[in-house]
Amino acid sequence: MTSAKKAFDRLPNTVVPSNYQIRLHPNLTAFTFDGTEEISVEVKNATDTIIVNSADIAVQEVTFSVKGKTDKVTGNVSFDVDNEKASFKFPVPLPIGEGVLSIKFTGELNDKMKGFYRSSYTSPDGQETHAAVTQFEVAAVTMFCATDARRAFPCWDEPAIKATFDITLVVPKDKIALSNMPIIHGNPLKDNADLIEVKYATTPIMSTYLLAFIVGDYDFVEGKDKDGVLVRVYTPVGKKEQGQFALEVAVKTLPFYKNYFGIAYPLPKIDLIAIADFSAGAMENWGLVTYRETALLVDPKNTSAHVRQWVALVVGHELAHQWFGNLVTMEWWTHLWLNEGFASWIEYLCVDHCFPEYDIWTQFVNQDMGRALELDALHNSHPIEVPVGHPSEVDEIFDAISYSKGASVIRMLHDYIGDEHFRKGMNHYLTKHAYKNTFTEDLWASLEEASQKPVGEMMTTWTKQMGFPVIKVEEKQEGTIRTVTISQSKFCADGILPKGDKSLWMVPVSICTSNSPAKPVQTVVLKEASSTITLNNIKPEDWIKVNSGSVGVYRVQYSSEALDRLIPAIKDKTLPPRDRLGLESDLFALARAGMISTVDVLKVAQAYINEDNYTVWSDLSTNLSSIAILLQYTDSYPQFQTFIRDLFRPISQKVGWDTKQNESPLIAMLRDLAITKMGRNGDKEILKEATKRFEDHVNGTKVLPADLRKPVYITVLSSANEETFNKMLQVYEEADMQEEKVRISRSLGSVRDEELIKKVLDFSLSEKVRSQDSVFVLASVTGTVRGRQLAWKFVQDKWSELHDRYKGGFLLSRLVKSTTENFVTEEDAKNVEEFFKANPAPAAERTVQQSCENVRLNARCLERDGKALENWLKSKK
């Protein structure tokens, strides 16, 4: 497998760069670029060959000269296309010592959203226009360990081969041209007055994957943070107000990190820019952070609370990388999880600081921890730290394990050693390794030194070992003393522990009780298979909740008596929100694993009838949807929908349709959630009101506020005929903001009519939808049985087009996951496996296995609990 080979194939270190002088001249009409480089290198061992990374680049000339001498030797160029390398062979061995490698080259501004590429947009005068932009960190799985700076200029394209860079861009004089550092001068070209040569200040010592160049038309807003760092947010022309929110977040965030890490942001400026065609969500290039439009732009009238919050999180994430990732960089991609896991944790810390009203840490439990626990319970999961060199393990560095499990174990660690020690350790780590590279162990060492706790020992159990434990809780009451026995074993999504599995974790276990619901009364570190804890002064009817605040990365299983004691605390909400959320989340997972009955879990779900917390509802809603998927294949689905409507009606009535004064953004999100749930499940009253509001919106009588649009669109589309569908498409066409287009296109798949479903599928690949959004539009039809079948058929029919479009990218995995994982029969699982056997997609190999595992889980679950669920649901009427 070539991808595996690449993992090992590092560049020789006989010649290493220290500074690159790079001059690039992109041509925005021919979509090509010319470049020259002068690289200061050190020849460490005499050699006649220099090997660098280079991909899709034509090299016209290579010369070498000894530093300070004018004599040049010309090298012979050859390429190793598979390994994306160029070798320059010189007629004589190059002498040990300093030298200059000069290269003349040309390349293509590709349309693949990677390397140096073109992005297209409509300028305010209606012209189709292009920008040249870069994305050098690679999400493409088959290119494991590669980065794409090599598509812009030949270089030592490895994160540990750091150097300084002097960039010059030659651009049309009316364009904005940006790079990592501020401009030092822009001079008109002597032989062409329409072009200017823009030179940027020297970068600090840095990795190639963090460089960026952008040439295009943009407006900006600017500000300074409290330390005088110049912050600009670049937006499409005419939309600079939409950069204001991100600017405010960035200006608050930089000092927050400076204070948290105890280290100033090292560059004089930072730009945040929205790029029309962008494959990831955002990218942390040092001093020039790139974003999808929907991850950066906020419009007071058109942006939902949810998107504002998302923008804040993404800005918080990418700015954290400026320290963690850019200043200190992982040595190799196997340690990448730490980069992403850490940033995915601290983005919450930062948003919590800037926007306490989002109660963002509760959302963490739902978002990141929930996702991590779900994926990591599968037999086809993998450890956070992927052992180097296993060919089947090359495609897993950018999945939810790195991001969400990574973030979750860091949250657990932060809680275990405490904020003060954590900060001290971070400062130690970032100071000690500034401008250098690290291994995961280096972070543990710093945190261990700061806290004097066994950080490395504990974290290794979480990062080198796949999965996480389920903690079984057994209680015995004697007088006013309760003895609690906790025991751990690996939690498996299907409840079946692989033979001989003896995995143990170092688990911080905290317990709260009715007498102290929010503050743990005891915390122990469970290392062995089981341990006993004694609680004093506790009455027989008092409840205990293990995993206080849902900080620990594990599931908890109680006896049914213990669970019964907790029910009143759910109803009266004396159990805090994160615990209410964790509790139901664990129960659904245990039921799916066959460890408790699904009917019993639905009974517990009814105790949430008085719930008023957005995040708890959101988690519960997702879990109920996974039961809905199973019941869609039975006769009792209508009864289940009634059950859902009955559960969500009180809260949907409580939040109502209209915003109240000084309402928290969480209420806006809750309203969206409750109405969407009712609407999707066919509530007549909701449909009536949504239809009316939709008509008013379309007619221009009364514009829908941003937070109501998704629930109204989904409700209306759920029972749409062609006329309504066309109206929706019209709104899509007229929408100016990407957020609105994305909102509509991801709602379209709610249609039920077969012909309309097919239209949505065709629409997803039409030129009306940007390539980066298609997958989500396509996935939006998979909520119904028919939609699911049609989407999968569509994917198979269009496989070569789709595969070609997304190749090794994570969008391909996303596509595969969403169109396959919700089937419910063994036959479906086989069918999916066979398709990918005949049409291999190495980048999505593990996703296919995970999807099929999920399908088989669905099948087992339905077989096991289907009848009981049907009986229970029918008996309710």
How many Cβ atoms are within 10 Å of 452's Cβ, its own excluded? 9
The residue whose Cβ lies closest to ligand BES is: 281
Quick one: which H or E segment has residue 121? strand 115-122
C-beta of 376 vs 865, nearer to ligand BES: 376
C-beta of 314 vs 815, nearer to Zn ion: 314
The first and second tokens of residue 635, run together, are: 């006769």
CA nearest to 170, candidates 22, 52, 46, 284: 22
C-beta of 318 vs 821, nearer to Zn ion: 318
* Dist CA 609 CA 595 (whole Å): 25
Our CA angle for 364, 368, 374, nearest 5°, is: 130
Binding mask 191-230 for Zn ion (x = CB under 5 A): ----------------------------------------
By CB under 6 A, residue 166 contacts ligand BES: no
C-beta of 314 vs 624, nearer to ligand BES: 314
Coil/strand/helix, residue 836: helix
Amino acid letter, residue 143: M
By CB under 6 A, residue 398 contacts ligand BES: yes
By CB under 6 A, residue 321 contacts ligand BES: yes
Q: Please choose which of ligand BES, Zn ion, none residue 281 contacts, taking the beta carbon within 5 to 8 angstroms, the exact cut-off set by kind.
A: ligand BES
Measured CA to CA in angstroms, residue 52 lies from 64, 84, 144, 334 at distances of 14, 9, 17, 21
| Stretch of 45-53, 125-133, 185-193, 336-344 lying at the interface with ligand BES (CB under 6 A) | 336-344
Site residues for Zn ion, window 261-280 (CB under 5 A)? none
> Measured from the CB of residue 320, what is the shortest distance to Zn ion in angstroms?
8
By CB under 6 A, residue 211 contacts ligand BES: no
Instruction: Tell me: is residue 697 an annotated ligand-binding position.
Output: no
Among 281, 391, 594, 866, the residue binding ligand BES under the rule CB under 6 A is: 281
Coil/strand/helix, residue 850: helix
C-beta of 346 vs 832, nearer to Zn ion: 346
Strands 555-557 and 469-478, by their bridges, are: parallel
C-beta of 295 vs 844, nearer to Zn ion: 295
C-beta of 105 vs 398, nearer to ligand BES: 398
Q: Please choose which of Zn ion, ligand BES, none residue 108 contacts, taking the beta carbon within 5 to 8 angstroms, the exact cut-off set by kind.
A: none
CA nearest to 100, candidates 196, 21, 44: 21
> Measured from the CB of residue 193, what is the shortest distance to Zn ion in angstroms?
42
What are the DSSP calls for 71-117, one per residue? --EEPEEEEETTTTEEEEEEEEEEPSEEEEEEEEEEEE-BSSSSEEE
Q: Which residues pair with 21 in a beta bridge?
A: 38, 166
> Measured from the CB of residue 519, what is the shortest distance to ligand BES in angstroms?
31
Site residues for ligand BES, window 590-609 (CB under 6 A)? none
By CB under 6 A, residue 138 contacts ligand BES: yes
Q: Which residues pair with 63 in a beta bridge?
A: 74, 102
Q: Please choose which of Zn ion, ligand BES, none residue 491 contacts, taking the beta carbon within 5 to 8 angstroms, the exact cut-off set by kind.
A: none
Binding mask 336-365 for Zn ion (x = CB under 5 A): ----x--x----------------------
| Stretch of 276-284, 386-394, 505-513, 696-704 lying at the interface with ligand BES (CB under 6 A) | 276-284
Amino acid letter, residue 402: S
Q: Please choose which of Zn ion, ligand BES, none residue 88 contacts, taking the beta carbon within 5 to 8 angstroms, the exact cut-off set by kind.
A: none
Strand order in the sheet with 164-172: 73-74, 57-66, 97-108, 32-43, 15-27, 164-172, 192-200, 183-189
Q: Could you list the active site residues?
A: 318
* Dist CA 88 CA 60 (whole Å): 12
C-beta of 144 vs 260, nearer to ligand BES: 144
* Dist CA 713 CA 718 (whole Å): 8
C-beta of 393 vs 683, nearer to ligand BES: 393
C-beta of 341 vs 549, nearer to ligand BES: 341
> Measured from the CB of residue 137, what is the shortest distance to Zn ion in angstroms?
9
Instruction: Tell me: is residue 722 an annotated ligand-binding position.
Output: no
> Measured from the CB of residue 434, what is the shortest distance to ligand BES in angstroms?
20
Among 143, 196, 211, 280, the residue binding ligand BES under the rule CB under 6 A is: 280
Q: Compute CA 679 distance to the chain's CA centroid, rounded to the nearest angstrom.
A: 28
Spell 637-655 as b/e; 16+ CB within 10 A means b.
Answer: bebbbbbbbebbbebbeeb
Measured CA to CA in angstroms, residue 602 lies from 190, 555, 667 at distances of 76, 18, 25
Among 318, 619, 672, 853, the residue binding ligand BES under the rule CB under 6 A is: 318
Task: Please report which residue ranges of 156-243 form alpha helices under DSSP H.
Answer: none
Our CA angle for 574, 575, 580, nearest 5°, is: 135
8 Å CB contact between 540 and 477: yes
Q: Please choose which of Zn ion, ligand BES, none residue 161 contacts, taking the beta carbon within 5 to 8 angstroms, the exact cut-off set by kind.
A: none
The first and second tokens of residue 312, run together, are: 């804040």
The first and second tokens of residue 73, run together, are: 């030797």
| Stretch of 67-75, 333-341, 571-579, 783-791 lying at the interface with Zn ion (CB under 5 A) | 333-341
Binding mask 668-687 for Zn ion (x = CB under 5 A): --------------------
Amino acid letter, residue 207: S
- Number of Cα atoms under 13 Å in the Cβ half of residue 529: 4
Binding mask 73-112 for ligand BES (x = CB under 6 A): ----------------------------------------
| Stretch of 170-178, 253-261, 311-319, 675-683 lying at the interface with ligand BES (CB under 6 A) | 311-319
Q: Please choose which of ligand BES, Zn ion, none residue 282 contacts, taking the beta carbon within 5 to 8 angstroms, the exact cut-off set by kind.
A: ligand BES
C-beta of 368 vs 579, nearer to ligand BES: 368
What are the DSSP calls for 42-65, one per residue? EE-S-EEEEEEE--SEEEEEEEEE
> Measured from the CB of residue 307, what is the shortest distance to ligand BES in angstroms?
13
Task: Please report which residue ranges of 405-551 form alpha helices under DSSP H.
Answer: 406-417, 419-432, 440-451, 455-463
CA nearest to 196, candidates 20, 23, 29: 23
The first and second tokens of residue 86, run together, are: 């160029």
CA nearest to 323, candidates 167, 427, 188, 449: 427
| Stretch of 339-347, 373-381, 439-447, 454-462 lying at the interface with ligand BES (CB under 6 A) | 339-347
Quick one: which H or E segment has residue 432? helix 419-432
> Measured from the CB of residue 368, what is the shortest distance to Zn ion in angstroms?
13
* Dist CA 417 CA 531 (whole Å): 21
By CB under 6 A, residue 139 contacts ligand BES: yes
Size (the chain), residues: 877
By CB under 6 A, residue 807 contacts ligand BES: no
Who's near 767: CB < 8 A, 6+ residues apart?
none
> Residue count at the site for ligand BES (CB under 6 A)?
17
8 Å CB contact between 304 and 294: no
8 Å CB contact between 274 and 435: no
Instruction: Tell me: is residue 379 an annotated ligand-binding position.
Output: no
By CB under 6 A, residue 317 contacts ligand BES: yes
Among 284, 368, 586, 773, the residue binding ligand BES under the rule CB under 6 A is: 284
By CB under 6 A, residue 137 contacts ligand BES: yes
Amino acid letter, residue 38: E
> Measured from the CB of residue 403, what is the shortest distance to ligand BES in angstroms?
6
Strands 176-179 and 213-216, by their bridges, are: antiparallel
Q: Please choose which of Zn ion, ligand BES, none residue 862 contacts, taking the beta carbon within 5 to 8 angstroms, the exact cut-off set by kind.
A: none
| Stretch of 335-343, 508-516, 679-687, 788-796 lying at the interface with Zn ion (CB under 5 A) | 335-343
Annotated binding residues for Zn(2+):
317, 321, 340
Q: Which residues bind Zn ion (CB under 5 A)?
A: 340, 343
Annotated binding residues:
317, 321, 340
Q: Which residues bind ligand BES (CB under 6 A)?
A: 137-139, 280-284, 313-314, 317-318, 321, 340, 343-344, 398
